[in-house]
A and B are shown apart, each in its own frame.
Chain A
Amino acid sequence: QVQLQESGPGLVKPSETLSLTCTVSGYSLTSGLHWGWVRQPPGRALEWIGSINHRGTTYYNPSLNSRVTMSVDTSKNQFSVRLSSVTAADTAVYFCARDGGDGYKFGVFDFWGQGTMVTVSS
């Protein structure tokens, strides 16, 4: 069974950089597919942040493009996201998810992590 688990600080100060890692089990990142990050501010809609494949090719939401960096570490079966210059508007639950598995087209997230709450506050 594919499982994803987010990890990282739950509290980040304004203007600093938010950094999260997603550890994948039950599936090797080197087998292909894409891996994404999605966030959900409290009481609001889901927002796609970006996606990465096992080669490190990245795709970012244009609204966050200048602040987002994603990376992959296939030796640890992990992928990560960094969001710089955070403000209170970046407070959200952050999810990692598998994109395009089991024959789905890319853009279909079939497995998700449980999510991690990140609060931006001084």
Chain B
Amino acid sequence: EIVMTQSPATLSVSPGERATLSCRASQSVSSNLVWYQQKPGQAPRLLMYSASTRAPGIPARFSGSGSGTEFTLTISSLQSEDFAVYHCQQYNNWPLLTFGGGTKVEIK
């Protein structure tokens, strides 16, 4: 099983500041990585796929990078609606899919 590890668990950021979230895979997943955003009481929402491609409707302030085992999600200027939990998930080993533990982005 490919283990996905996200850091930090919680990130405290002021509105307008930049947020950088990390996701590490226990073995290479190439670029087969997605990021989801989840707000309280809601389902996850697809943000990014293929590690760096924004899903339809996702603002340009969200960007993804990385390949292999190290990935980053950057939110360039946090808006109030961006405070949420972010999950990474690999699909290189489809159909065996694994998620990271999530990073909560909270208001500082």
Contacts and interface: CB of A to CB of B under 8 A. Distances in A.
Interface size class of A (residues with CB under 8 A): 20 to 34
Contact of B98 (A48, A95, A110): A48
Given A104-B49, A106-B91, A108-B49, A48 B97 contact: yes
Contact of A107 (B32, B36, B42): B32
B96 A62 contact: yes
B25 to A, nearest CB: 13
A62 B32 CA distance: 21
B43 A112 contact: yes
B59 interface: no
Contacts, number: 65
B34 interface: yes
Given A109-B46, A115-B43, A46 B91 contact: no
A114 B91 contact: no
Contacts of B68: none
B89 A59 contact: no
Contacts of B99: 38, 45-48
A47 B101 CA distance: 10
A61 B46 contact: no
Interface of A: 34, 36, 38, 44-48, 51, 59, 61-62, 95, 97, 104-110, 112-115
Please list the 3 inter-chain residue pairs (A to B) with the smallest Cβ-Cβ separation, ordered nearest first.
A107-B91, A59-B95, A112-B43
8 contacts: A36-B97, A46-B36, A46-B99, A48-B96, A48-B99, A107-B91, A108-B49, A110-B46
